């Protein structure tokens, strides 16, 4: 995975190139539109967690899994992230314009107890909550936010960063250097059919 040595230097060079193009009378390329959003990207604070939780809910609604969410989802999300922020094991990047948080991307440090008995470094990074409002997509916003997350993971000393991609992400993560893993998933259908017998009815003739 390619980790940017300095996100500030990266943005400075992009802005410098854009300035040189304008000075020479050239029109910046379409890919330069993401510069404006990258300048609005910032590290989130606890005060942003209500907005982040709302975007997270919209993400699950869009991918069709909102019916699986826990009761009091928004409240539980804010409480969990607040605790993880205090332990410095979780961060979010938000993209803000005119006081509107229009996108977010999060990173968290996780530990698998099963891995801890086998490996020297059981901790790993996990990218989550990557979401941009539909009307602001295809402008490089998600890419810019994730690029700000990667140096944080590197400084945390984790050997690997994982994520679960959805169909709406396209090839974004491959372009950022992520590679598909061999992990496979089996999902049980836990939604009971209305015709399925319950209780003692299963044993009646």
Please tell me the distance from the alpha carbon of residue 169 to that of residue 167, in angstroms, as a whole number.
5
- State both tokens at 100: 């509107």
What is the mean predicted confidence (pLDDT) over 142-153? 95
What is the mean predicted confidence (pLDDT) over 168-185? 82
Q: Are 39 and 18 in contact (CB under 8 A)?
A: no
What domains sit in the chain, N to C, each tagged with a CATH number? 7-176 (3.40.630.30)
Maximum Cα–Cα distance across the chain? 86
Q: Does residue 21 surpass a pLDDT of 80?
A: no
86 compared with 173, residue with greater pLDDT: 86
What is the mean predicted confidence (pLDDT) over 153-161? 93
Q: Does residue 165 surpass a pLDDT of 80?
A: yes
Please tell me the distance from the alpha carbon of residue 43 to that of residue 106, in angstroms, as a whole number.
10
36 compared with 189, residue with greater pLDDT: 189
- Predicted TM-score of the model (pTM): 0.71
For residue 105, which of 34, 43, 37 has the smallest C-alpha distance? 43
- The residue assigned the tokens 């009761």 is 71
């Amino acid at each position: 995975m390619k980790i940017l040595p300095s996100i500030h230097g990266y943005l400075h060079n992009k802005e410098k190139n854009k300035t040189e193009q304008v000075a020479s009378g050239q029109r910046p390329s379409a890919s330069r539109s993401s510069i404006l959003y990258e300048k609005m990207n910032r590290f989130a604070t606890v005060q942003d967690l209500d907005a982040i939780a709302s975007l997270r809910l919209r993400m699950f609604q869009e991918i069709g899994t909102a019916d699986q969410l826990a009761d009091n989802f928004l409240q539980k999300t804010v409480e969990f992230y607040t605790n993880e922020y205090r332990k410095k094991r979780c961060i979010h990047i938000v993209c803000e314009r005119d006081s509107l948080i229009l996108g977010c991307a999060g990173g968290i440090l996780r530990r698998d107890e099963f891995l801890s008995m086998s490996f020297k470094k059981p901790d790993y990074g996990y990218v989550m909550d990557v979401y941009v409002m539909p009307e602001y997509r295809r402008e490089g916003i998600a890419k810019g936010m994730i690029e700000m997350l990667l140096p944080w993971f590197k400084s945390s000393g984790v050997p690997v960063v994982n994520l679960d991609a959805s169909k709406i992400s396209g090839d974004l993560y491959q372009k950022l250097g992520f590679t598909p893993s061999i992990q496979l998933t089996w999902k049980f259908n836990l939604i009971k059919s209305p015709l399925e017998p319950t209780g003692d009815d299963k044993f009646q003739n």
